[in-house]
Each structure stands twice: as structure tokens, then as C-alpha cells.
């Protein structure tokens, strides 16, 4: 009789072990989902990255379109004007940077030597004995800098087709986001799975956070550009304005 009772007793794992196994499978599933999303984004990056850029631009520049709309400009027209302004700023920056480099390429080495002489004199006045070796090291690196720059430009030309597609797709996406931003905002609010007023608070705060982030980055980039550009101007480094522009634009561009 005891043997029959023992056979009817079923093994039951402890509760803590069942909870641990369940949590482990949830963790495995979560990791698989993240890996799958990363793989999918990598495979579709040609389309996803311009859309992400357009979304960021729409969130940051959307208030400008709304302000134009309140002054009687149709939203489509305001979106076009804001987008043209962004494109004009991009073209202006491109012309300032590459135009300055090509126009003063011959004077860079000569003026760099003069700047290095100034730095060497300042270091000597401070009692630093290694100023001469530092100057020689920079002089040796200067030709390599130009070679690296030219190599980077050549590599950029090779990828021109991808760049043109990226810019064209991002421009069209940004135009639609700027034009239909409020419609997309309401659509997202209705389909977030929470009450629409709560969803509106969440999405609005996300957009405000993005704008605040880029405002802070712009302020810091402007400070760095003034500091570095001013130092380059004092030292007599060529293309001080171009250096300041690159310093300002680099951190502010969405990546």
C-alpha cells in the first residue's frame, strides 16, 4: 500500500525555482527581441536613419511651423519655408568650410609655422624646455593632416550616391513630418494604449525634452566655437572662422 502511495506522489519544484525559471525565460526573450531589433535596424538603416533624422528635425523645428501657421501661413507653406531655411543653413556651412579650406590651402603650412613660433616663445617664457620638440612633432604631423583630409574627401566622393539618397529621403520625410506633425501627434496619442490625455503629456514632454537638449547643445557648441575660434584668431591660425564653424556645427548635428 505504501508503495502505491509513493507512486502517486508527483514531484513539484519549489516556488522559488519556478519563479527563477520563468524570469530567466523572460530575460532570454527580452534579449532576443533587442538583438532582433538591432539586426532589423541594421538591415533597414538606409530607410530608418533618414526617418529618425526627419523625426528629430520635426520635433525640434515643428514649433517654427506652428508659429508661421498662427501668422496666417498655411502649414504646408510653413513646412516648406522652414525646410528651405534648414537646407540653406546646411549649404552655407558647407560652402564656408570647404570654400575656406580650398581657398587657403596654400597658406596653411606657412601660417602654421608662424603660430608654432609664437607658441614656442610662450612656452619658453614659461620655462618649458620641450617646446622645440613639440613644435617639430606638429610640423611632422602637418603634411599627414592634409593627406588624411584629402583621403577622407575622396572616400566621401565614393559614397556620394548613398549620401544623395540619404539627404533626399531625409528631406522628403522631414517635409511630411513638419507638415503633418500635429496629425501624427494625435495618431500616436490615440494608439499608445493609455488614456489620450496621458499619452499627450508623454509625447509632448518627449518633444520638449528633445528641443531642450538641442538648445543646451547649441549653447555649449557656441561657447566652444567662440573659445576655439578666438584662440585660433589670436594665434594667427588660418581659417579661424572655418574652425569656429566646424566646432559649432559638429556637436549640434543629429547623429
Model confidence pLDDT, tens digit, residues 75-95? 888 889 988 988 888 888 888
**pLDDT score at 128:** 58
Q: How far apart are CA 246 and CA 255, in angstroms?
A: 15
Give dist(CA 52, CA 167) in Å, integer: 12
The answer to whether 174 and 54 are in contact (CB under 8 A) is yes
Identify which has the larger pLDDT, 151 or 59: 59
Per-residue pLDDT reduced to its tens digit, 216-227:
888 888 898 888
> What's the rounded Cα separation, in Å, for the pair 242 and 95?
10
Buried b (16+ CB within 10 A) or exposed e, 184-198: ebeeebeeeeeeeee
Which has more confidence, 46 or 104?
46
- DSSP SS3 for 128: coil
**Total number of residues shown for the chain:** 255
What single-letter DSSP state applies at residue 192?
Answer: S
Residues 6+ apart with CB under 8 A from 52: none
Q: Which residue has the higher pLDDT, 117 or 23?
A: 23
pLDDT for position 32: 92
Query: What is the Cα–Cα distance from 173 to 38, expressed in whole angstroms?
Result: 22
Q: How far is it, in rounded angstroms, from Cα 135 to Cα 117?
A: 8
- What is the share, in percent, of the chain residues with pLDDT greater than 70? 69
Angle at the Cα of 38 from the Cα atoms of 252 and 249, rounded to 5 degrees: 10
Q: Enumerate the H helices of the chain as residue ranges.
A: 2-8, 15-43, 45-70, 75-103, 105-125, 131-158, 160-179, 181-190, 196-235, 240-252
CB 161 within 8 A of CB 168: no
Buried-state track 23-44, b at ≥16 Cβ within 10 A, e below 16: eeeeeeeeeeeeeeeeeeeeee
* Arithmetic mean of pLDDT over the chain: 77
* Residue 99: predicted pLDDT: 73
Q: What is the separation, in whole angstroms, between the first and last Cα of the chain? A: 75
Amino acid at each position: 500500500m505504501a508503495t502505491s502511495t509513493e507512486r502517486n506522489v508527483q514531484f513539484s519544484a519549489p516556488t522559488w525555482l519556478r519563479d527563477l525559471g520563468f524570469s530567466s525565460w523572460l530575460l532570454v526573450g527580452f534579449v532576443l527581441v533587442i538583438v532582433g531589433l538591432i539586426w532589423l535596424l541594421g538591415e533597414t538603416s538606409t530607410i530608418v536613419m533618414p526617418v529618425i533624422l526627419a523625426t528629430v528635425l520635426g520635433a525640434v523645428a515643428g514649433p517654427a511651423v506652428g508659429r508661421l501657421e498662427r501668422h496666417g501661413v498655411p502649414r504646408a507653406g510653413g513646412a516648406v519655408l522652414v525646410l528651405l531655411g534648414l537646407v540653406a543653413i546646411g549649404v552655407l556651412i558647407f560652402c564656408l568650410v570647404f570654400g575656406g579650406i580650398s581657398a587657403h590651402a596654400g597658406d596653411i603650412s606657412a601660417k602654421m609655422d608662424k603660430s608654432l613660433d609664437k607658441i614656442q616663445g610662450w612656452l619658453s617664457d614659461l620655462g618649458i624646455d620641450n617646446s622645440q620638440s613639440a613644435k617639430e612633432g606638429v610640423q611632422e604631423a602637418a603634411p599627414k593632416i592634409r593627406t588624411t583630409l584629402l583621403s577622407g574627401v575622396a572616400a566621401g566622393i565614393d559614397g556620394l550616391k548613398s549620401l544623395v539618397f540619404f539627404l533626399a529621403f531625409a528631406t522628403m520625410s522631414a517635409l511630411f513630418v513638419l507638415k503633418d506633425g500635429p496629425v501624427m501627434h494625435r495618431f500616436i496619442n490615440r494608439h499608445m494604449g493609455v488614456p489620450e490625455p496621458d499619452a499627450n503629456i508623454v509625447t509632448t514632454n518627449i518633444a520638449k525634452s528633445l528641443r531642450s537638449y538641442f538648445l543646451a547643445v547649441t549653447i555649449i557648441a557656441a561657447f566652444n566655437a567662440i573659445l576655439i575660434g578666438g584662440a585660433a584668431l589670436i594665434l594667427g591660425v588660418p581659417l579661424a572662422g572655418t574652425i569656429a564653424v566646424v566646432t559649432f556645427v559638429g556637436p549640434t548635428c543629429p547623429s
